[in-house]
Chains A and B, each alone.
Chain A
Amino acid sequence: MNDNIIWVEVARLPIAKMQDVLLARFIGRDEATKMDFSPAVLTRLVTAISEITRNVVQHAGASGVLKIGQIIEEGQYRLRIIVSDQGKGIDHPERFLEDGKAGTLGSGLPGTRRLVDQFHIESAPGTGTTVTMEFRKTEVTT
């Protein structure tokens, strides 16, 4: 992702328990509502936050942090969500982005990637995982 952009952090939340997943959803929805995102995008955003933060609670083996911020680039606003943890991490994260075959529901990371406008994952065994997601304001607010 381009580093020459303005990043304004608007919320930060530790992720350790399932209630934090709910809080993360609530805060994400709240911030996106402030930015006037459409209800359809709100649903996608909340679902994406749920998927990623739930991964931290259930699989990382360590607590994580959710950061929500606004990206201002060339007068355009985007909502960036960063979920990072110092947990187990995963080897070759790109493998987890492939769509599931028959019998799987293809959710998790591939499903989340489809929900967001931009998706980036960095992970390695023992060093934790950082997922960055972005939402653009492209849809008409209803």
Chain B
Amino acid sequence: MRWSNQNPLRERADCPSSASQVFLTGWRGLGARVWSLAKIGKSASSREAIVWASRLNEEKDFLLSMVRGMEAEFLTTGRGLMDLARQLSDIQKECQSLTDLTLGQTQDAAVQFAFQLLKKSEDLVLASYDQYDHVFTTFAELQHRLTQLANQHRDLMRVLLPLNFITTSVRIEASRHPQEVQEVFFTLAATVNQTVKDVRVTLERQFEELAASQQMVEKLVAQVSTSIEQHRKTVSGTLANNRSQLRALSQELFRASAGACGLSQFNQAVTRHIHGIILAQQCQDITRQKIEHVGEAMDEMRTHLDHPNSPDAETHQFIFQAAQIQLRQTQNVFDELNCAADSLKSGIHSLRTDAGAAADASVKVGGTLLDANIAGECKAGIGKILTIIQETVQTTNDIITAFKPLQARFLNCTHEATVLANDVRHAALNAQVFAIHAADGATLEVLAGNMRMISDETMLQVNQLGSALQATADMVSNLRQRLKDFQELSYIEQEVLAEESALSQKMLSELEGAIPILMQRIAQQQEAFAQSVEGALVKVQFPVTVAEANSRAIGFFKDVVTWGGEGVSDSQTETGALQKIERLKSKYTMASERHTHATALQPASASASQPLIELFGEPVQPSNVEILVLTSTQKAETADHAIDFNLSERPITASTASITATKSSASSDLGDNVELF
């Protein structure tokens, strides 16, 4: 411990402190006063007492002025910091918007929507391939059946072939009979021959037409097969290309989002630093009340020094003890202020560092370039697939149209073959009936019976052919119906996909447009924020003020203690001084403290014109300000109780360590009666 033993008058003359010009100006007035006292014959001790009284007054004003200055700085800087917090909040919102847009976590995210649209379009194309596969399968089956039908046709012709010989035999046999019998059987033979001829010609014509239709279908199927291969390649290429582009877009967006997240993290750190700086500055509010109490004690000390009849020994003892108490209290106050100043300096340093890092990060975010072609090509890709879908729908329609005549041919064949077979059968039956009624017509009966057998066989063959034709016609019919159903579904899907495609294109365009603007805006806001940081911090004088005031105030009270101690001997105890000390202590009771708090709070709550402080985006209403101040004063009260009073056990330095939050045994000596000391 090194206390100054020099005379304060001499010491002050060469005081190295750059405290203020006011201090030096005050000295000139004080010198004049001491000189006038000397002239009227006052003792040296009395003159010193008057000087100390004057200095006490000046130092009190200095301390109170410091507190007021810190309060004003807190309000000014606080507003600046709150503006910073608001700017940060705006940037954070923009970063969040960018993240939402780029990460595509929303239901209607553009990239997700485009990708899902692609997949839905692909579904339709793949489903149309399924239909084509079915067409190919059916066509292969059809060709197989047509071969079988051709065989059946040949079989039928083979069955009909003997009829020509039989009719010839009938005519020869009939020529041996009377004229009227001859005429009947000649007519029957001619009818049968004609019918057989008709059957042959008709069926051959039908099968030729069927073959022609089949060739048309075959040609179409071959075309479809070729176009499908082409489509498969185009669709698969387009889908792969679009997937790749969407993935690239997604990665670009992810990078932009990662940049926004990084920026957001920096800004969160910056927000914490701003919060820390504000909290550190709020320390002035906590210490103001303590300084005010010190000021009141200094007034009490000054009153004793100003008293003309005050005995030297008693005055010295009172001043000695009172100054010791003020020294401890001031030391504690400055411990807190120094701690706050350290925290403030550290916070400002971190704020500058992280704000700089955030600005750098924002430049990267702003510099993220989205490939404008990606979204455009995705849109084009979706358009290409929609075109393919249109083509497949059209192809399906062509297949349905192509199979229609084929189906008709089968049905016609069936119908005509059946009619002709019936005609043959009727002719055979008639021949049989006439043969029975003809005299001596046994041979005719035999021939007519053969004709009947052949007609039955023909009917059987025709029925079989008809069934096969009907089955083939049904197969074609089913295929056409299936294609029609698919076509109907395709039309609906195509319509829906076209609508969604338009929506997707709009969303992608908006995404393309919105993200660069958003990123640019974030970069600009961050740059403006970095400039605002310097603007707000340049006004912060708290650490410098505290350092200077600490040195000056502690030095002063040490001087007072030294001066007071000079007139006090260890054995000497002045009862009057002790009583005054007790009286001084008694003034700082809890009740007195609460009264001081209430008085201090009144202007804060009553002053509506004072600017409100907004803490991190939450506007603080007057009631909240009260709460804030009350909380601060309550903290002060709590801290006061926890101050270590044992001066002898504790080294006093200009800058001491932080306050220990434990109540010492020495404090209990003063009891509840002494709130502050």
Contact = CB atoms under 8 A, between A and B. Distances in A.
Interface stretch (A5-13, A75-83, A99-107, A121-129): A99-107
Contact of B493 (A25, A51, A99): A25
A22 B116 contact: no
Contacts of A21: 123, 127
Contacts of B130: 17-19
A111 B115 CA distance: 10
Interface string A38-58: 001001101100110010000
B247 A103 contact: yes
Nearest to A53: B123
Interface in B486-510: 486, 489-490, 492-493, 496, 500, 503
Nearest to A40: B108
Given A17-B127, A18-B126, A54-B123, A23 B112 contact: no
A47 B250 contact: no
A44 B489 CA distance: 19
How would you classify the secondary structure of chain A's contact residues: helix, strand, loop or mixed?
helix
B120 interface: yes
Interface in B112-162: 112, 115-116, 119-120, 123-124, 126-127, 129-131
A107 B247 CA distance: 11
Contacts of A109: none
A98 to B, nearest CB: 12
A102 B251 contact: yes
A111 B254 contact: no
A83 to B, nearest CB: 15
A115 interface: yes
Contacts of A106: 104-105, 112, 250
Contacts of A25: 120, 123, 493
B629 interface: no
A16 to B, nearest CB: 10
Interface extent on B, as a size class? 20 to 34
A141 B190 CA distance: 78
A102 B254 contact: yes
A107 B116 contact: yes
A47 B120 contact: yes
Contact of A105 (B111, B124, B490, B500): B111
Nearest to A107: B115
How would you classify the secondary structure of chain B's contact residues: helix, strand, loop or mixed?
helix
A99 B105 contact: yes
B399 to A, nearest CB: 15
Contacts of A43: 500, 503
Given A17-B130, A18-B130, A22-B127, A107 B119 contact: yes
A79 B108 CA distance: 20
Contact of B250 (A18, A19, A44, A105): A105
A50 B126 contact: no
Interface string B592-618: 000000000000000000000000000
A114 interface: yes
A142 B374 CA distance: 33
Interface centre among A19, A43, A106, A114 (most CB of B within 10 A): A19
Contact of B127 (A18, A103, A104): A18
Contacts of B489: 19, 22-23, 26
Nearest to A116: B107
Contact of A50 (B112, B116, B251): B116
Nearest to B117: A47
Contacts of B105: 99, 106, 114
B127 A47 contact: no
B322 interface: no
Interface residues of A, number: 27
A51 B112 contact: no
A94 B116 CA distance: 21
Given A105-B112, A107-B115, A50 B250 contact: no
B217 interface: no
Nearest to A103: B251
A47 B258 CA distance: 28
A54 B119 contact: yes
A107 B112 contact: yes
Nearest to A19: B127
B406 interface: no
Interface string B91-120: 000000000000011111001100110011
B126 A111 contact: no
B246 interface: yes
A59 to B, nearest CB: 13
Given A18-B127, A103-B251, A44 B107 contact: yes
Contacts of A114: 105-107, 112
Interface string B29-62: 0000000000000000000000000000000000
B119 A50 contact: yes
Interface centre among B127, B247, B255 (most CB of A within 10 A): B127
A19 B486 contact: yes
B90 to A, nearest CB: 27
Given A22-B493, A103-B250, A105-B246, A111 B116 contact: yes
Contacts of A22: 123-124, 127, 489-490, 493
A51 B118 CA distance: 12
A46 B120 CA distance: 9
Interface in B241-263: 246-247, 250-251, 254-255, 258
Nearest to B492: A26
A50 B107 contact: no
A60 to B, nearest CB: 16
Interface centre among B106, B258, B492 (most CB of A within 10 A): B492
B120 A50 contact: yes
Nearest to B258: A102
B112 A111 contact: yes
Interface centre among A25, A99, A105, A107 (most CB of B within 10 A): A105
A54 B119 CA distance: 9
A39 to B, nearest CB: 9
A29 to B, nearest CB: 8
A18 B123 contact: yes
A51 B258 CA distance: 28
A51 B119 contact: yes
Given A17-B130, A54-B123, A106-B104, 10 more contacts: A18-B130, A19-B127, A22-B124, A25-B120, A25-B493, A47-B120, A50-B116, A102-B250, A105-B246, A111-B112
25 contacts: A17-B127, A18-B126, A18-B127, A18-B129, A22-B124, A22-B489, A23-B489, A25-B123, A26-B492, A44-B107, A46-B120, A50-B116, A50-B119, A50-B120, A99-B105, A102-B251, A102-B254, A105-B111, A105-B112, A105-B247, A106-B104, A107-B116, A114-B106, A114-B107, A115-B107
User: Which 4 pairs show the lowest CB-CB distances between chains A and B?
Assistant: A18-B127, A102-B254, A19-B127, A18-B126
